[in-house]
Chains A and B, each alone.
Chain A
Amino acid sequence: MRRTNRGAGQINSGSMADIAFLLLIFFLVTTQIATDKGILIRLPPKPDPNEPPPDIKFNQRNIFKILINSQDKLLVEDEPLYDVSLLKDMVKKFVLNNGKDPNLSDSPSDAIVSIKADRGTSYDIFISVYDQCEAAYNEMYGEKVGLTAEEFRKLDRGDPDQKKLYDRAREIDENGKPQFPKQISIAEPTKYGGS
């Protein structure tokens, strides 16, 4: 018998690209870039039940009060505020007052921004208010070391040079305590609006 030798068998690879494309498109569509970004906060530790809560008298002028009711309306320093984006400059003015205006803070280290929401407040408005306060502080820090708020936020504290800038902006003293701390407090919400 004679075999018909037609040479090495070849697989038609012309459609290989098509198959690869198909897979590629599948992964393109299903990929979601991980979004682990957000506003990082540190909760205060749980109060010790054996110790009475420390009775600290705050001077009223040093607290910047932001109230949000269940209708998502804002009351800032006892005045209604309709535009959340104005909040940033108000916070900055309050913190950087240094005792000039008797209604605003004594010094940046005393200034506290207090956000008090209601149980019926929407999370959306709360985040935008908190974001404004963060932005105010980031801008103030940035201005002190000649960066924009954006650049300041991206400072990497692992890098010694950048950490120096960061510490300078926050005026870290020899005990490691910032003299220009970021004090944004989230108060226990009121219950008027129901849950």
Chain B
Amino acid sequence: MSKFKKSSKASQDIPTAALPDIIFMLLFFFMVTTVLREVELLVNQQLPLATQLKKIERKSLVSYIYIGKPKNAKEFGVEPRVQVNDNFIGTKEIVQFVLTEKDKLDESERDQITMSLKIDKETKMGIVTDVQQELKEANALKVLYNTPRKVDM
């Protein structure tokens, strides 16, 4: 008889008992890192790309303003509109919005508030400037043009 016949008694199965644990670990990771969108976007958003980006360290100081064409063109028309929180506002109401946002912050941090503008790239500069004027009026001088990173080809 063959001398080399091994009497292999080791099981060939990979133990899968720990698999659920591993998957759960991944699951928890994603659950923790997921940030659910707080506002429902009512405007189309395709942000322009740029290369010279800066990151914002303190998320608590950031408020968002969305500008773009309304998704629901039948109801709101095709002109770009300004959205904050969950509704459209006129440019004149931005001062009020900034003040309420500032009220949420600590007194010492109020002048550090950063307005993150998420503006669709099709938008014209007219409305962007109007919004900026209002931000100046409200003394919210730190503005972030929110842009994803452009990858150099």
Q: Which residues of A contact B (CB under 8 A)?
A: 13, 16-17, 20-21, 23-24, 27-28, 30-46, 117-124, 126-128, 130-131, 134-135, 138, 149, 153, 188-189, 195
CA distance A21 to B59 in the complex (A): 31
Closest B residue by C-beta to A138: B52
CA distance A36 to B20 in the complex (A): 34
CA distance A119 to B54 in the complex (A): 26
User: Can you list 9 residue pairs at the A/B interface with Cβ under 8 Å?
Assistant: A20-B23, A31-B30, A39-B54, A117-B125, A123-B121, A123-B128, A124-B122, A128-B48, A138-B52
Judging by beta carbons under 8 Å apart, are A39 and B35 in contact? no
Among B6-14, B69-77, B139-147, the stretch that binds chain A is B139-147
Which B residues lie within 8 Å of A45 (CB)?
136, 139, 141
CA distance A27 to B36 in the complex (A): 10
Beyond A36-B59, A119-B124, list 5 extra A-B contacts (CB 8 Å): A37-B55, A37-B147, A41-B145, A42-B143, A134-B52
Closest A residue by C-beta to B34: A31
Q: What is the distance, in angstroms, from A162's C-beta to the closest C-beta of chain B?
A: 14
Judging by beta carbons under 8 Å apart, are B139 and A31 in contact? no
B27 proximal to A (CB < 8 A): yes
- Residues 111-153 of B, flagged 1 when their CB comes within 8 A of A and 0 if not, give 0001010011111111111001001110101111111111000
Name A's interface SS: mixed
Q: What is the distance, in angstroms, from B57's C-beta to the closest C-beta of chain A?
A: 9
Partner of B144, one of A24, A38, A134: A38
Which 7 residue pairs are nearest across A and B when measured between Cβ atoms? A119-B126, A124-B121, A195-B126, A27-B30, A134-B52, A20-B23, A16-B20
CA distance A37 to B132 in the complex (A): 19
Judging by beta carbons under 8 Å apart, are A122 and B147 in contact? no
Closest A residue by C-beta to B68: A123
In this complex, the interface size class of chain B, counting residues with CB under 8 Å from chain A, is 35 or more
Which B residues lie within 8 Å of A189 (CB)?
125-126, 129
Judging by beta carbons under 8 Å apart, are B141 and A131 in contact? no
- Residues 74-89 of B, flagged 1 when their CB comes within 8 A of A and 0 if not, give 0000000000000000
Which B residues lie within 8 Å of A21 (CB)?
23
Which A residues lie within 8 Å of B135 (CB)?
43
Judging by beta carbons under 8 Å apart, are A43 and B34 in contact? no
Closest B residue by C-beta to A118: B125
Judging by beta carbons under 8 Å apart, are B50 and A128 in contact? yes
Judging by beta carbons under 8 Å apart, are A122 and B123 in contact? yes
B1 proximal to A (CB < 8 A): no
B65 proximal to A (CB < 8 A): no
Closest A residue by C-beta to B58: A36
Judging by beta carbons under 8 Å apart, are B125 and A121 in contact? yes
Which A residues lie within 8 Å of B121 (CB)?
122-124, 127
Judging by beta carbons under 8 Å apart, are B124 and A123 in contact? yes
Which A residues lie within 8 Å of B144 (CB)?
36, 38-41
Partner of A119, one of B34, B129, B142, B147: B129
Which B residues lie within 8 Å of A36 (CB)?
55-56, 59, 62, 116, 144, 146
Which A residues lie within 8 Å of B51 (CB)?
131, 135
Judging by beta carbons under 8 Å apart, are B125 and A40 in contact? no
